[in-house]
């Protein structure tokens, strides 16, 4: 059993809250900047490392707070270089974080919730039992974990790759719906983008949503990162089925929110994600309808080959169908890179590693489904 650490975490606190926490521990106000840099520039994992703080202050902090990172329940490294971690949080909850190296960047795919309430029919995370929001520290903790793994901290021999940092980009595309955990995601992104700390540019962060329309406006105004929208269908009829959230925020409202999104300029385009499901949403007519639906929005379309999981009700489109779909979008002026499946050998699809770590009984699954339906209904009210 993991040893549970009940002390509050310092990681993830916005600066004023950090200053206040330190004040309560008896530290002078100006120490907050020092501690902040230890946390996010040097990646300190113990208070003892903070050698420019008086010993007394370090002891006071250690007594009250923890700097513990999430534990690693499982780690898989793919032949293609991607890595997937099952991380264990202080309360024993588990989340997935995935690292994907590419030629010009290294992208960390971060979770925002344990499980998810949305029950998208093709998504494995939607079949999982426990659901809770991650706090800001748990979201930031995933970034710190990846930086620890690559030794990417100032003051240590941080081996930069020839394309720069290992962890150069963040996508909020892991488990959960980030816009249903707005405040914690916002606080975590404030820490991630702070130039005096982790210093990851907002332009290098993309938040993916299934389409929580009112929160999309707030996301643009208050978080200011790039937006990806999980579209997956071009009619309400099909989208109601694939992404049940569509019943609450139908396509018309969703597309209007996309058109309003403040970063929807040519420089920062909205990404429309479209999972390719054989015989379900992959016809040439649907490709043409998609181009019409997003007409006028500075956008790119990310065609995602469906990643099957045991018992999943769909199959991935054929490579020919994907290519045809992509060609039609290209002819309409939309770049539509086909997302190369990464880490298939390490169960990199959403939620798979977590499920592999524990067999869920049929009864638990039914209970979970009932709980989620309940949650979705409550959301809908
Ligand atoms: N809730 C957010 C973010 C998490 S899902 C959202 O819906 O956007 C991240 C992306 O992975 C989404 O586009 C989702 O539709 C896609 N996805 C989920 N399961 C998948 C699977 N089995 N195969 C391919 N893509 C999947």
In this prediction, residue 3 carries a pLDDT of 47
pLDDT digits (tens, 9 = 90+) for 126-136: 888 778 999 99
Percent of the chain with pLDDT over 70: 84
pLDDT digits (tens, 9 = 90+) for 164-199: 788 999 999 999 999 999 999 999 999 999 999 999
| pLDDT higher than 80, residue 311 | yes
Please give the DSSP secondary-structure letter assigned to residue 9: B
Would residue 275 be called left, alpha or beta, if left means φ above 0 and alpha means ψ between -120 and 50 degrees? beta
**Position in ligand 1 atom list of the atom nearest CA 273:** 13
In this prediction, residue 337 carries a pLDDT of 77
230 Cα to the center of ligand 1, angstroms:
7
Catalogue all structural domains in the chain, each as residue range(s) with its CATH number. Answer: 3-68 (1.10.150.530), 71-346 (3.20.20.70)
Residue nearest to atom 3 of ligand 1 (CA): 173
Which tokens go with 234?
A: 């071009």
352 Cα to the center of ligand 1, angstroms:
12
Half-sphere CA count of 286, side-chain side, radius 13 A: 23
Contact 216, 227 (CB under 8 A): yes
| pLDDT higher than 90, residue 10 | yes
51 Cα to the center of ligand 1, angstroms:
44
**Position in ligand 1 atom list of the atom nearest CA 172:** 3
What is the distance between the alpha carbons of residues 146 and 154, in angstroms, rounded to a whole number? 14
pLDDT digits (tens, 9 = 90+) for 37-48: 999 999 999 999
In DSSP terms, 275 is beta-bridged to 304
In this prediction, residue 335 carries a pLDDT of 84
- Determine if the pTM surpasses 0.75: yes
112 Cα to the center of ligand 1, angstroms:
13
What is the distance between the alpha carbons of residues 84 and 72, in angstroms, rounded to a whole number? 10
Give, for ligand 1, the residue of 113, 123, 179, 311 to mutate: max count of ligand atoms closer than 8 Å to Cβ. 123
Residue nearest to atom 14 of ligand 1 (CA): 230
Instruction: Tell me the backbone φ, ψ of residue 222, rounded to 5 degrees.
Output: -100, -25
| Contact partners, residue 310, CB within 8 Å, separation at least 6 | none
What is the distance between the alpha carbons of residues 42 and 371, in angstroms, rounded to a whole number? 42
| pLDDT higher than 70, residue 119 | yes
Give the Å distances, CA to CA, from 355 to 94, 279, 329: 10, 27, 35
User: 69 in helix, strand or coil?
Assistant: coil
């Amino acid at each position: 059993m993991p040893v549970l650490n009940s002390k509050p975490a310092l990681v993830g606190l916005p600066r004023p809250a950090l200053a206040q926490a330190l004040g309560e521990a008896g530290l002078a106000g100006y120490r907050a900047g020092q501690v902040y840099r230890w946390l996010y520039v040097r990646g300190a994992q113990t208070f003892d490392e903070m050698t420019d703080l008086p010993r007394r202050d370090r002891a006071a902090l250690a007594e009250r707070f923890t700097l513990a990172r999430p534990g690693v329940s499982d780690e898989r490294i793919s032949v293609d270089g991607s890595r997937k971690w099952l991380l264990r949080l202080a309360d024993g909850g588990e989340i997935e974080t995935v690292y994907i190296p590419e030629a010009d960047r290294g992208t960390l795919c971060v979770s925002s919730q344990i499980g998810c309430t949305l029950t998208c029919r093709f998504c494995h995370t939607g079949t999982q039992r426990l659901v809770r929001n991650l706090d800001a520290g748990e979201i930031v903790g995933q970034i710190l974990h990846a930086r620890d793994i690559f030794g990417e901290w100032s003051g240590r021999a941080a081996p930069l790759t020839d394309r720069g940092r290992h962890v150069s980009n963040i996508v909020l595309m892991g488990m959960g719906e980030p816009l249903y955990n707005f405040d914690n995601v916002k606080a975590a992104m404030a820490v991630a983008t702070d130039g005096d700390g982790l210093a990851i540019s907002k332009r290098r962060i993309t938040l993916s949503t299934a389409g929580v329309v009112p929160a999309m406006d707030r996301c643009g105004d208050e978080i200011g990162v790039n937006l990806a929208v999980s579209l997956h269908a071009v009619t309400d009829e099909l989208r109601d089925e694939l992404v049940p959230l569509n019943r609450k925020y139908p396509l018309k409202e969703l597309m209007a929110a996309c058109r309003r999104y403040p970063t929807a300029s040519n420089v920062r385009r909205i990404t429309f994600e479209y999972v390719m499901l054989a015989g379900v949403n992959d016809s040439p007519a649907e490709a043409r309808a998609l181009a019409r639906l997003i007409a006028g929005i500075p956008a790119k379309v990310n065609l995602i080959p469906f990643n099957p999981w045991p018992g999943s009700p769909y199959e991935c489109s054929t490579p020919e169908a994907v290519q045809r779909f992509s060609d039609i979008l290209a002819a309409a002026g939309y770049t539509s890179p086909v997302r190369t499946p990464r880490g298939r050998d390490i169960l990199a699809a959403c939620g798979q590693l977590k499920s592999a770590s524990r067999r869920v009984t049929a009864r638990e699954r039914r209970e979970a489904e009932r709980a989620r339906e309940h949650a979705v209904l409550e959301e809908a009210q």
